[in-house]
Amino acid sequence: MSDPKIQIKNLYKIFGKAPEKALTNVQAGMSKDALREETRHVLGVDNVSLDIAPRNIQVVMGLSGSGKSTLIRHINRLIEPTAGEILVDGENVLTMDKDALRDLRRFKMSMVFQHFGLFPHRRVIENVAYGLIVQGVDETQADKRAKHWISRVGLEGYENNYPGQLSGGMRQRVGLARGLATDADILLMDEAFSALDPLIRYDMQSILIDLQKELHKTIVFITHDLDEALRIGDQIAILRDGHLVQQGSAQDIVLRPADGYIEDFIKDINRARVIKLGSLMTPLEGTPPADAPRLDAGTLLQEALMAVAQSDSNTVIVEEHGTVKGQVTTRAVIAALHG
């Protein structure tokens, strides 16, 4: 197993005039509400530790005020923590001097914002090339790379338009192209699709999923939308009042919620669109029935239901790359669908 790309260790962020003093109260057990009422300090992040694997999409989600946007801004040190550590490729971001921190932001990380963050007075191609120019790439090469990414996000022909001439979805594509153009290892996406209409948002998710299959970036994606988190996240971390409640795959979250808060979060989701056969798999017992459907472990239950319904067998044979790995009973499928 590879080492984490990003490690967040025992991170605290307290906003107020004397955060170090308030930290003592928090570590002694004072709640977020009590801290605000008694000390006029706000607890943004509460002792969060999280390992983020390379080449994965790590979703961090929670309701408004949960601390998710505060957390992501620590990774590139837009916010200084009250206590804790942030390691990127084993190097402590919090001990970096100005030059090292500038290089981290220029070459290793890109950020995509909720409200696009585009320069209104610059054309699309100038916006996308901006990070490359900051890196010191010559203008001709920067324009060439910018045109490539503009095309990849489906905006070919709009290079010379200004952001004000584009729809919201198109502006978000420009923001994504700018984030990808610098070829940074890490992409930080803070509520990047939240301002978009549902259909456009779904399209942007699809673009990101397709690009990630090719690029294999380490992406930290902030959202308040559970459906979005379950669709794009390799791993999901759920925050509440600055505290990490549960972290795991979509399968872990849906099948094994950590507490009542998570149960409430997931109660209305379409489980058939999230749960995969492999997560319900048990060892194969005896010779598999000849008429049992054979499906890949990554098959979603909604895709497996038709095969189950058309078969006389009470068993689905689960395969991975053509090799039999186990079985899933019809009873297990029904139980999973109903929670």
pLDDT exceeding 70 applies to what percent of the chain? 99
Are the CB atoms for 43 and 37 separated by under 8 Å?
no
pLDDT at 312: 80
Instruction: Give yes or no for residue 153 having a pLDDT over 90.
Output: yes
What is the average pLDDT score of the chain? 93
The pTM (predicted TM-score) of the whole model is 0.91
Please give the Cα distance from 6 to 11 (Å, whole number): 13
Largest CA distance in the chain: 71
pLDDT of 304 higher than 90: no
Beta strands 42-52; 57-61: pairing state: unpaired
Assign 15 a pLDDT band (cuts: 50, 70, 90): very high
CA distance 223 to 43: 20
In this structure, which amino acid lies at residue 232?
I
210-249 tens-digit pLDDT: 999 999 999 999 999 999 999 999 999 999 999 999 999 9
Q: Cα 134–136–140 angle (5° rounding)?
A: 105
pLDDT, residue 115, reads: 66
What does the pLDDT read at residue 334?
A: 85
User: How many whole angstroms separate alpha carbon 76 and alpha carbon 188?
Assistant: 9
pLDDT of residue 308: 79
Mean of the pLDDT values across residues 260-280? 91
Say if residue 73's pLDDT is above 90.
yes
Give the list of residues 6+ apart from residue 29 with CB closer than 8 angstroms, or none: none
The pLDDT value recorded for residue 335 is 87
Give the tens place of pLDDT for each residue, 242-258.
999 999 999 999 999 99
Confidence of residue 196 (pLDDT cuts 50, 70, 90): confident
In degrees and rounded to multiples of 5, residue 35 shows phi and psi of: -60, -45
User: pLDDT-based confidence at 1, cuts 50/70/90?
Assistant: low
pLDDT greater than 90 at residue 2: no
Top-ranked range on mean pLDDT: pick from 78-87, 190-199, 296-305, 314-323: 78-87
User: What residues are paired with 186 via a beta bridge?
Assistant: 109, 218
In this predicted structure, what is the pLDDT of residue 333? Answer: 86
Q: Are 111 and 179 in contact (CB under 8 A)?
A: yes
Q: What is the mean pLDDT of residues 83-87?
A: 97
Could you give the domains of the chain?
53-270 (3.40.50.300), 273-338 (3.10.580.10)
| Mean pLDDT of the region 185-212 | 92
Rounded mean pLDDT, 158-180: 94
Q: What is the pLDDT of residue 209?
A: 95
Read off the pLDDT of each residue in 131-139 and give the average, rounded to a whole number.
94
Q: Could you give the percent of the chain with pLDDT greater than 90?
A: 78
